[in-house]
Amino acid sequence: MERDRRDHAAAYRCPMPRLLPHRTRDRVVAAIVVLALAAGLTVFFVVRALPGYRVQNQLITVRTGPHGDQPVRLDTSLYLPDSGTPAPAVLLAHGLGGTKASVAGDAKDLARLGYVVLTWSAQGFGRSGGDIHLDSPDWEVTDARRLVDWLGHRPEVRSDGPDDPRVAAVGGSYGGALTLLLAAADRRVDAIVPQITWHDLATSLFPESTGRPATDGVLKQAWLGYLFGAGLHAGPPRRNDGGPAAPDPNAVGCGRWAPEVCRMYRQVLADGKPDAAAVALLRRSSPASVLDRIHAPTLLVQGLSDTLFPLSEADANARGITHAPVRVVWFSGGHDGGAGSAADHDRVRQLTADWLDRYLRGGSGHASDSFTFSRIVGYDRSAGAVRTTAMSAPHYPGLRRPGAHVALRGPAQPVASPPNGTPAATSTVPGVGIAGVAPATEIPGQTAAFTSAAVSAPVDLTGAARVPIRIGAAHPGGVLFAKLYDVAPDGAQSLVAGQAAPIRVTGRGSVTVTLPGMVHRFATGHRIRLVVDTADRAYAGPREPATYTVAVAGALQLPAVAATPLTDPAGIWYWLLAAAVVLAVLVIAVALLIARARRRGRQRAVVAELADTPLAVRGLRKTYKDGFVAVRGTSFTVEPGQVVGLLGPNGAGKTTTLRMVLGLIRPTAGEALLFGHRAGPGAPVLSRIGALVEGPGFLPHLSGLDNLTLYWKATGRPLDDARVAEVLDIADLGDAIHRRVRAYSHGMRQRLAIAQAMLGLPDLLILDEPTDGLDPPQIAEMRRVLQRYATDGRAVLVSSHLLAEVEQTCTHVVVMRRGELVAAGPVAEIIGDSPSVLVGVTDPDAAEPLLSSVPGVSTVARAEGGLLVELADGTPRHRLVDALVGGGVAVDRVVPRRRLEDAFLALLDRGES
C-alpha cells in the first residue's frame, strides 16, 4: 500500500447538494421511517425467536493414555440452552493452537439452536494438563470418549440408552480429524461435521503428485514449522493435573509437544523426509486407516484456499467412509483463506445446523445429499475478502472427472535447481493472506512455462487437473513443482488457488502429474499456463544443485462438473434474514440518495485539521452484543514526537481501544482518526502505522531476519521500503537477527516483534504490553528503543501496566478505568502536586534532625539526590527551608516528589468514589 498523504479538505468541506425539493424530501424521510420500522420489527422478531443459553465452566478429570489409567485434567465449558432440556449434545473441538475459547462463538450459536454444547481445551493447550499427542487414539481420542461418557450422565442431555447420549461431534482442522477418529472409535456418536482436516497426515505433510509413498514425499517445510510453532506457543509444559511441570532437559525446545512427536519433528527436519517410524506415528493420528469403522452420518467440509489440507483430503475421506451417509461441501475458506467469503461462512453454518437437525433431532430439515461448492469470482479489496458464487450438483463427483483437454505450447526447456533450494519461487505463505490473491513469484532460469492459446469460451476447472510431462535428469532424486496460472489478455497472471504440486524426479522420463483440487473459471480470451519450478519456499528442496529438461508430453486435462447456481436459500431463517436485508437495503439506498455527496466526502476525505496528527480518538465507544460496555466515550490525541502511555488496570479497555484504533473491530460510536483518516480493512493510511497487539507470532525454523523479510514481502511492498537496516539499528538486535527464532529467549522474541512493527519506519507505532515477560535490563533497553524511535516527527502509543517504566519512557499518559477516560496529559501534569518533597542539602546528617523537628513533617528518609520528606496536608514547604537555614545547613533545592504510581492509584480511587 502506498502512503496516502493527499489533502482532501475541499471535498470534506463540500456542502451537500440539494438533490430533492423540500416536499419530496419530506415524503422520502417519512418513507425511510416506515421502512426502518418494518426492518427493525423483522430483525426484532428474528432475534426474539433465538433462545438464549447459560455457561458452566469446570475442570473435568478423565482417565486416558495407552492403558486408560492416566488422569488428565481438561478445562471445559458446557453451554446449556434456555429452550429446554434434555436436548441433543454437540462436542465442539478446536484447531491446533487454539483453546475452548477459540470455538466459543460457534458454541453460543449451537446453544441458541437448542443444543447442549461441550467445548474443551485439548491436552497441551490452555489450562488443560498433559501434552500434545497429535490426535493420538490413546490420548486425545480417548479424552473425547470419556467426555461422551460424562455427557451420558448429564440430565440435560437426551439419551438413546444407558450411558448413550444423543451426541454429534463438530470440529475444524485438528478438531476435524478428532471427530473422524472419535466416530470410528465410539459408535455412540450419532453425527459428525469434520471441517478442513486431513485424511492421512503423512501424505498431507509429505505429498507427491505421482502417488509415491510418504517416505518419498516432499516436505511441506513451512507448514510443518508453522504447526510445530503452535505447540511451542501453547505455553510452558504442564502436569496432567494442569499445574506447571518441572523442567525436563530432554524436552528443551519441545514446548507442550509429547516427546515422541518432538522427536519425529526433529528427525524430519534433519533428514528432509520422514523415516518409517515418523510415518507410522502420523498415520496413527490419521482417519485413513479407520474410515471403514465410521457409522455416523458425515458432513465433510473442505476449503478451496488451503495448501495444508487441500480438497484431496476430503475426497479420500469421502471415498473411505462406506457405512454411513456422506455429504461433501467445498467453500472458499481454509487454512489460507480463513472463513472465506461472508456468504460462504453463513452457508457452512446453515449446512451444519441442517445436518445436526436431520441426524440428532430426526427432522427432515433442509439437509440433502447434494454436492455444493463455491467458485471464487473476485476479490473485494476494500472489504479484504473474496466474492463467491455457490454451485450445486446432485451428487459428489470426486476430483477426477471428464472435462476439457487443453493443448499447451512450448519447447523442452532446461531448468536449474539451486543448492539447498535457495533462492526459491513463492506460491503461498502458510496462514498468510488468501491463496490465489497474493501475487506469486518465479525465479528466472529455474522455471519452465508452457502456455495454451487464448480460450474461445469459458473453461471450468472443478477438481484435480492432470498433465503428462517428460523430465530429463542426469540423476534421480530431485524435486520439481507444477502449478497453473490464469493469464489475462494484458499479460497479467495469477496463480490458481495458490497451489503447487511437488514432483519427485525418478529418472523414468514421462510422468503424469496430478495437481491439487481446484475450482476456477478461465474466462474467454484468457490463456492457461503450466509452470514447472525447481524450488518453492513452502517445501524443502534437495541440498545439491542439479539441472533438468522439462517438456509437456500431452494435453492438460481439466475436470469439470455439471452444476447450477445455488439460488434457493434453505430454511425459514434465510427467508427472514433476506426480508430484513431487503428492507435494510431500501433504507440505505434512499438515505444514500439524500446524503450522497456528504457521505462520499466523509468516507474519502481527510479531516484537514488532523492531517498531521498521528492519532485522534473522539468519543470512542464499544458495546458488545451481550450488553457489556468495554469502552465508554474515550477521547485523546497522540501528537508527533510524543511517546504516549495508555494505562489502566486489567479490564480497563486498553486493548479494545487499540483494536478499534487499528480497525480490527468496529466501534459502536465515535471514531479513531489516523492522520485524519478513518481506519478500516485495506485503508491506505494503515501503511503509515506499525503495530504489535496481542503477542507476536514467528516461524521458529527461520532466522529473525528471514521472518522480518517474509512478513514484509507478504504486504506486497518493495523490500527497499522496509528500511531493515535502520530498524535493526533502533531495535539493537545485534547478531541474534541471523539466528533461528526457535533459539530466541522470550525477550529476544519480543524485541523482534517490536522490530517487525517498526518495518518501514511507520509514522505511528502502536504497542500493546511490549515489555511483557522482559527482565529489568531488557525493559531498560526497550525504554531506550522507544525513545529513540519517537524522533523526526514519529510518535509511539504504548499500553503497559509497568507504571515506573511509563514514567521514565513516556512524555504523556492516558489513564482508563472500566472503559472510561480518567485523565490524559503530560506525565508531569498527571503527577501534579505532592505531599512528598525531595530536599537537596549539603549536609544530610545535620539536616535530618532539623527537618524531623518541623511541625507537620511525618517522616524523613534518605533518598537518591537528598532527603525525602512527607508533609501533612496543608504544611507549607517554606518551613523546611526556614528550619534548615536557621540551623546553618545550605539548601540546594526543594522539589515535589510524587511517582506516577501514586497519581495513578489516586485517580482510580477518585473514580471509585
Q: Which domains does the chain have, with CATH numbers?
A: 1-49+571-605 (no CATH), 53-165+200-285 (3.40.50), 403-561 (2.60.120.260), 609-828 (3.40.50.300), 833-897 (3.30.70.100)
Listed in sequence order, the residues at least 6 apart from 75 whose beta carbon sits closer than 8 Å to its beta carbon are: 57, 59, 99, 100, 120, 121, 126, 127, 128, 242
Phi, psi dihedrals of residue 896, rounded to the nearest 5°: -65, 145
Which has more pLDDT, 589 or 762? 762
Contact 310, 499 (CB under 8 A): yes
Summarised one tens digit per residue, pLDDT across range 705-748 is: 988 888 888 877 888 888 888 888 777 778 888 899 888 887 78
Which has more pLDDT, 608 or 304? 304
Q: Tell me, what DSSP letter sits at residue 439? A: P
Number of Cα atoms under 13 Å in the Cβ half of residue 232: 25
Listed in sequence order, the residues at least 6 apart from 259 whose beta carbon sits closer than 8 Å to its beta carbon are: 131, 250, 251
Listed in sequence order, the residues at least 6 apart from 841 whose beta carbon sits closer than 8 Å to its beta carbon are: 847, 866, 867, 884, 889, 890, 891, 892
CA–CA separation, 488 and 523 (whole Å): 8
Strands 689-692 and 403-406: unpaired
pLDDT, residue 736, reads 84
Q: What is the mean pLDDT of the chain?
A: 82
3-class secondary structure, 26: helix
pLDDT, residue 71, reads 95
Quote the Cα angle for 317-320-325, to 5°: 85
Which has more pLDDT, 642 or 241? 642
Task: Choose among 422, 706, 701: nearest CA to 542.
Answer: 422
The three cell numbers locating residue 235: 505455553
Query: For 770-819, where are the E strands, in sequence order?
Result: 795-799, 812-817
State what percent of residues in the chain have pLDDT above 70: 81
pLDDT, residue 694, reads 67
Listed in sequence order, the residues at least 6 apart from 425 whose beta carbon sits closer than 8 Å to its beta carbon are: 440, 441, 442, 443, 446, 447, 481, 533, 535, 536, 537
Task: Choose among 78, 421, 360: nearest CA to 222.
Answer: 421
Residue 819 confidence (pLDDT) above 90: no
Instruction: Provide the pLDDT confidence category of residue 6 given band limits of 50, 70 and 90.
Output: very low
Residue 66 confidence (pLDDT) above 50: yes
pLDDT, residue 437, reads 46
pLDDT, residue 714, reads 80
Number of Cα atoms under 13 Å in the Cβ half of residue 431: 16
Q: Which residues pair with 690 in a beta bridge?
A: 765
Residue 549 confidence (pLDDT) above 50: yes
DSSP string, 542-584: -SS-EEEEEEE-SPEEEE----EE--S--SHHHHHHHHHHHHH
Summarised one tens digit per residue, pLDDT across range 130-146 is: 999 999 999 999 999 99
pLDDT, residue 282, reads 93
Contact 433, 476 (CB under 8 A): no
CA–CA separation, 369 and 649 (whole Å): 53
Residue 867 confidence (pLDDT) above 80: yes
Summarised one tens digit per residue, pLDDT across range 405-452 is: 999 999 999 999 988 888 888 887 765 544 444 456 788 899 999 999
Q: Which residues pair with 673 in a beta bridge?
A: 616, 678
Spatial strand order of the sheet with 866-871 comes to: 857-863, 866-871, 836-841, 891-896
Residue 367 confidence (pLDDT) above 70: no
Query: Which amino acid is residue 46, in one-letter code?
Result: V
pLDDT, residue 34, reads 53
Instruction: Provide the pLDDT confidence category of residue 773 given band limits of 50, 70 and 90.
Output: low
Instruction: Provide the pLDDT confidence category of residue 484 given band limits of 50, 70 and 90.
Output: very high
Residue 295 confidence (pLDDT) above 90: yes
pLDDT, residue 556, reads 96
CA–CA separation, 450 and 551 (whole Å): 8
3-class secondary structure, 527: strand
pLDDT, residue 153, reads 94
Contact 487, 527 (CB under 8 A): yes
CA–CA separation, 902 and 913 (whole Å): 17
The highest-confidence range among 205-209, 375-379, 834-838, 861-865, by mean pLDDT, is: 205-209
Q: Tell me, what DSSP letter sits at residue 675? A: T
CA–CA separation, 449 and 491 (whole Å): 14
Residue 816 confidence (pLDDT) above 70: yes
Contact 451, 527 (CB under 8 A): yes
Residue 579 confidence (pLDDT) above 60: no
Mean pLDDT of 477-491: 92
The three cell numbers locating residue 131: 501434552
Give the helix/strand (H/E) hosting 681.
none
pLDDT, residue 519, reads 94
Strands 643-647 and 764-768: unpaired
Q: Which residues pair with 860 in a beta bridge?
A: 869
Peptide bond into 194 cis (omega under 30): no
CA–CA separation, 183 and 241 (whole Å): 27
The three cell numbers locating residue 836: 512528598
Mean pLDDT of 120-135: 93
- Neighbouring CB atoms inside 10 A of 84's CB total 10
Q: Which residues pair with 464 in a beta bridge?
A: 517
- Burial letters for 4-34: b for 16+ Cβ neighbours within 10 Å, e otherwise? eeeebeebbeeeeeeeeeeeeeeebeeebee
Residue 831 confidence (pLDDT) above 50: yes
CA–CA separation, 775 and 802 (whole Å): 12
CA–CA separation, 892 and 863 (whole Å): 15
Instruction: Provide the pLDDT confidence category of residue 18 given band limits of 50, 70 and 90.
Output: very low
Mean pLDDT of 317-336: 92
Phi, psi dihedrals of residue 473, rounded to the nearest 5°: -145, 140
Instruction: Provide the pLDDT confidence category of residue 196 given band limits of 50, 70 and 90.
Output: very high
326: left (phi over 0), alpha (psi -120 to 50) or beta: beta
CA–CA separation, 561 and 401 (whole Å): 7
Tell me the CA distances in angstroms from 232 to 69, 75, 109, one per residue in order: 27, 19, 31
Helix intervals (H) in 361-476: none
Handedness of CA 736, 740, 744, 747 (dihedral sign): positive
Quote the Cα angle for 577-579-585, to 5°: 100
DSSP string, 297-360: -EEEEEESS-SSS-HHHHHHHHHH--SS-EEEEEES-BTTTBT-SHHHHHHHHHHHHHHHHHHH
pLDDT, residue 733, reads 76
Task: Choose among 643, 653, 657: nearest CA to 806.
Answer: 643
Q: Tell me, what DSSP letter sits at residue 744? A: -
The three cell numbers locating residue 291: 474410515
Residue 572 confidence (pLDDT) above 50: no
Quote the Cα angle for 851-857-858, to 5°: 120
Phi, psi dihedrals of residue 85, rounded to the nearest 5°: -135, 160
pLDDT, residue 249, reads 60
pLDDT, residue 433, reads 47
Contact 371, 327 (CB under 8 A): yes
Contact 502, 514 (CB under 8 A): no
pLDDT, residue 77, reads 96
Instruction: Provide the pLDDT confidence category of residue 895 given band limits of 50, 70 and 90.
Output: low
Listed in sequence order, the residues at least 6 apart from 271 whose beta carbon sits closer than 8 Å to its beta carbon are: none
Residue 804 confidence (pLDDT) above 60: yes
pLDDT, residue 253, reads 75
**Picking from 28-42, 463-477, 488-502, 794-808, which range would have the lowest pLDDT averaged per residue?**
28-42
Which has more pLDDT, 646 or 193? 193
Handedness of CA 844, 845, 850, 855 (dihedral sign): positive
Packing angle between helix 746-758 and helix 704-714, nearest 10 degrees? 30
Contact 472, 554 (CB under 8 A): no
Tell me the CA distances in angstroms from 511 to 322, 405, 554, one per residue in order: 31, 17, 11
Mean pLDDT of 789-813: 80
pLDDT, residue 7, reads 32
pLDDT, residue 597, reads 45
- What does pTM read for this prediction? 0.61
Residue 76 confidence (pLDDT) above 80: yes
Residue 379 confidence (pLDDT) above 90: no
Which has more pLDDT, 285 or 625? 285
Number of Cα atoms under 13 Å in the Cβ half of residue 459: 24
pLDDT, residue 435, reads 41
Query: Which amino acid is residue 305, in one-letter code?
Result: S
CA–CA separation, 551 and 685 (whole Å): 47
Mean pLDDT of 625-646: 89
pLDDT, residue 906, reads 56
